[in-house]
Copies of this chain bind each other. A is one copy, B any other.
Amino acid sequence: MTRYVYPFEEGDGQDRKRLGGKGAGLAEMSRIGLPVPPGFTITTEACNAYQASEQVPDGMMDEVWDHLAKLEGKLGRKLGQVERPLLVSVRSGAPISMPGMMDTVLNLGLNPDTAEGMARLTGNRRFALDSYRRFIQMFSNVVMHMEHAQFEHILEAVKHQASVRLDTELKEADLEEVIRRYKDLVHQETRRSFPDDPKEQLQMAILAVFDSWRNPRAIVYRRLNKIPEDLGTAVNVQSMVFGNMGDTSATGVLFTRNPNTGEPGMYGEYLTNAQGEDVVAGIRTPKEIAQMASEMPKTYQELVGVCELLERHYRDMQDIEFTVQEEKLYLLQTRSGKRTARAAVKIAVDLAEAGVITRDEALVRQDPDQVQRLLYRQIDPHAAVELLAQGLPASPGAASGKVVFTADEAEARGNAGEAVILVRPETTPDDIHGIVAAQGVLTSRGGMTSHAAIVARGMGKPAVTGCEAVRISLPDETFTVDGQVIAKDTVITIDGGSGRVMMGRVATVEPELSEEFTQLLEWADETRRLKVHANADTPEDAAKARAFGAVGVGLCRTEHMFMGQDRLPVVQAMILAETLEERQKALQQLLPMQESDFYGILLAMDGYPVTIRLLDPPLHEFLPDVRETEKELEDVKKAGRTADVDHLEAVLRRARSLFEFNPMLGFRGVRLGIVYPEIYAMQARAIFQAQARLLKEGHHPDVEVMIPLVGIPEELSRMKDMVEEINHEVGREQAVELPYKIGTMIEVPRAALVAGSIAEHAEFFSFGTNDLTQTAFGYSRDDAESKFLPTYLAEKILSDNPFMVLDRKGVGRLIEIAVAEGRAQRPSLKVGICGEHGGDPSSIEFCHLAGLNYVSCSPFRVPVARLAAAQAALKHRA
């Protein structure tokens, strides 16, 4: 027959599954000789059997009584015995810590007789009565499901009647009154008497713990946190020790290190003459644990020793509950302590350096998503916040500033040193100068890949996009949220990590790359197989990426270079060109600008590969908005400015002819290169001219030319021939060899499906997983995230947003096909990923498994990627 009950000293401290976390901790502490009040654990199996059969499992209560008797024998006390009454606590303890279940009943075993017995035994009748009223209150609440507040009302009434302020000031007679009124309340509400039989009390409490496994809050919590329904909870029955036996008694909780900073040394608080629930209830202000060093020096030293022992034993920072009964220390619980990301890093590194854990363990223990938060300015978690609206978390970081509505004003005031937030319905290439000068960007339209989002992420600047609750009136220079009108110059704060928009200036905390974090990342670098590159479009970004440890630029997008205020008119002239000659003329003007772009980036990444993607977006993205141009044209016509009319009409004509129903699937990427080869030719020439300059200056530019959106091998082959020819031309002109690699992005499914043939022409593949996800699923990210993806995630049709976490079954399969067939064709093929997934831990794990050579992500994600790559390597070490 299954055994359901284990005394602490017999339980297996590793068997959290059977004993629950709390039971295992008590067993383990007992085993290693720490002062734990004796008791026993009823296993999770008992709970599961109870849930399955909906009745108390055969023999379970017999075992309980059996072990209770043994406990009584050991302690020389007896449950219900008047002379030497045994009191116990009953606590739940699931394998995974879980709020929502019944937690604790203390002082079980008291009734009118045993209370008097306790009074005599301790010589402290007030203590005995106080314990009894606490017991009634707790038992009624957690076992009999009565409202806590009703009891508090009675307590308050009696205190008022007795004209006292603190519970501790109540006299014995007052407490007798409280007990009487508590019992009346119970009878009145439940139509039964409060149980006086301690054995009945115990059985009721045990079954209440079992029942609480099924209460709605617990079920919801398990569903949200993907905790299996069949784990069940254990029940711990433990002999009571009393922190409320006067000034030499106390109760407290502590962490073995500071859970906010990770600094060594105990961190916690305690209350003298109190029971556990008083600390939590906040009735009296607890004291800091350091104070105990002077108040109870012996006990304090004992605690220090216990903390050291537990940390070494559990090899982690612990979260402890303890009670001091008349100067004697008892431990009631130990578990790994929750901590901030910052503390997690420091603690792990400190423990590894102290030899308590290995470096690998220090790496594995980090949550990369948590670690990411260390890298952005954040809203102070303690700050009070007036939430205005919720948008999409488009680019992380927090920023405060005055609201402005035009890029020009943002630029003027930002450059003058004022902190401003640029608020626009959506941004366009014309707004770049404003975004540069603003602290952050807020848009009412556009998704996670809208212009504002991409540009802001590229700059590492906070942005909230698609905040549809914000209704902007540009003429009035105001925006409205639910009727509240926000005027220009109002100070707001945005949190691009959470998508929150807040009123006023909210306090923020600075990011830091601590010494320990740096150390941890160095260990990660020794462990990981994947290289980490960064997506960087400017020398500044490239330098930032280097500082964060990137060993290459995996994606340098050239379109953002086209959007500078000095470039855009030339780019537009190139697009408006009606003949090849006109277009060539504009391209000639762009050539030196592009050359200097590439010079800067290659220099910033000197010695490391830089993958430059030729122009990708549809040309209409560089033209002004059609509607606005129409209006401008009307104005200009009224003013009779004929030359402007001609120009604007040409712009409109071209913009209309470039109009696309689905720009995401339109005339972009290599399709531009095929139809207008002169554009790619100019870019290739600019790259090789920059490379030649750098080589002559003694640098080591490592050039990779990437052709975007290839789906047909012939597309790449044609562009490759052209680039090759230009490489030779520039090489001859400059009399220097210009080694380079050419490759392609794999970002449409067909490219993956014909990867073998593409690899005939490609020296590297870079998976553009954002577009590959869009095309594999048939989702437009901008539309999906504002329309149906929220429902899909809420209803668990998708477990994750596939734009955040790479979809392994669909997109991942395409990647696997492409890697296998690409390498079969060309064993030396270099393969990486440059979508946003390149910075996501689960996606990085996939990339590791798929045998990629590198991941590339935004500079700010590089540290996380280094860590996640190491974790993947450790997890799947052969």
Contact = CB atoms under 8 A, between A and B. Distances in A.
A499 interface: no
B810 A749 contact: yes
B798 A776 contact: no
Nearest to A445: B659
Contact of A775 (B778, B784, B807): B778
B671 A788 contact: yes
Q: Considering residues A660, A663, A718, which has the most beta carbons from chain B within 10 angstroms of its beta carbon?
A: A660
Contacts of A810: 711, 749-750, 753-754
Contacts of A666: 780, 783-784, 787
Contacts of A795: 674
B662 A664 contact: yes
Contacts of A718: 797
B661 A661 contact: no
B777 A667 contact: no
Nearest to A667: B787
B674 A783 contact: no
A748 interface: yes
Contacts of A798: 712, 714
Contacts of A780: 660-666
A316 interface: no
Nearest to A795: B674
A877 interface: no
A191 interface: no
A669 to B, nearest CB: 8
Contacts of A45: none
Interface in A749-793: 749-750, 753-754, 757, 771, 774-780, 782-784, 787-788, 791-792
A473 to B, nearest CB: 15
A269 interface: no
A806 interface: no
Contacts of A775: 749, 775-776, 778
A383 interface: no
Contacts of A771: 778
A465 to B, nearest CB: 13
A735 interface: no
Contacts of A782: 660-662
Contact of A662 (B663, B712, B791, B807): B663
A817 B765 CA distance: 23
Contacts of A783: 660-663, 665-667
A704 interface: no
B791 A674 contact: yes
Given A675-B791, A711-B778, A778-B709, A664 B661 contact: yes
A814 interface: yes
A754 B787 CA distance: 24
A784 B667 CA distance: 7
Contacts of A779: 665
A628 to B, nearest CB: 14
A797 to B, nearest CB: 5
Q: Considering residues A671, A775, A783, which has the most beta carbons from chain B within 10 angstroms of its beta carbon?
A: A783
A582 B266 CA distance: 61
Contacts of A792: 674, 712
B667 A665 contact: no
A813 interface: yes
Nearest to A627: B627
A715 interface: yes
A747 interface: yes
Contacts of A809: 750, 753-754, 757
A811 interface: yes
Contacts of A797: 674, 712, 714-715, 718
A731 to B, nearest CB: 27
Interface string A578-598: 000000000000000000000
A711 B749 CA distance: 14
Given A674-B795, A714-B797, A778-B748, A664 B663 contact: no
Contacts of A788: 667, 671, 674-675
Interface in A477-501: none
Interface in A800-831: 807, 809-811, 813-814
A817 to B, nearest CB: 9
Q: Considering residues A711, A757, A791, which has the most beta carbons from chain B within 10 angstroms of its beta carbon?
A: A711
Nearest to A811: B750
Q: Considering residues A715, A776, A798, A813, which has the most beta carbons from chain B within 10 angstroms of its beta carbon?
A: A776
Q: Considering residues A665, A809, A810, A811, which has the most beta carbons from chain B within 10 angstroms of its beta carbon?
A: A665
A42 to B, nearest CB: 39
Interface in A641-665: 660-665
Q: Considering residues A662, A663, A791, A809, which has the most beta carbons from chain B within 10 angstroms of its beta carbon?
A: A662
A747 B777 CA distance: 10
A775 B775 CA distance: 5
Given A712-B797, A797-B712, A811-B750, A778 B674 contact: no
Nearest to A747: B778
Contacts of A814: 749, 753
A807 to B, nearest CB: 7
A757 B809 CA distance: 10
Contacts of A711: 776-778, 810
A814 to B, nearest CB: 7
Interface in A19-67: none
Contact of A748 (B671, B757, B777): B777
Contacts of A813: 753
Contacts of A811: 750
B774 A750 contact: no
Nearest to A661: B782
A293 to B, nearest CB: 58
Q: Considering residues A714, A747, A779, A795, which has the most beta carbons from chain B within 10 angstroms of its beta carbon?
A: A779
A776 B791 contact: no
Q: Considering residues A775, A791, A792, which has the most beta carbons from chain B within 10 angstroms of its beta carbon?
A: A775
Given A664-B780, A665-B778, 11 more contacts: A660-B787, A662-B783, A709-B778, A714-B796, A714-B798, A749-B776, A750-B778, A750-B809, A750-B811, A753-B776, A754-B809
11 contacts: A660-B782, A662-B664, A665-B665, A666-B780, A666-B787, A674-B788, A675-B787, A712-B797, A753-B813, A757-B809, A771-B778
User: Which are the 9 A-B pairs with shortest beta-carbon distances?
Assistant: A662-B780, A750-B810, A748-B778, A665-B780, A667-B787, A749-B749, A666-B783, A662-B662, A671-B788
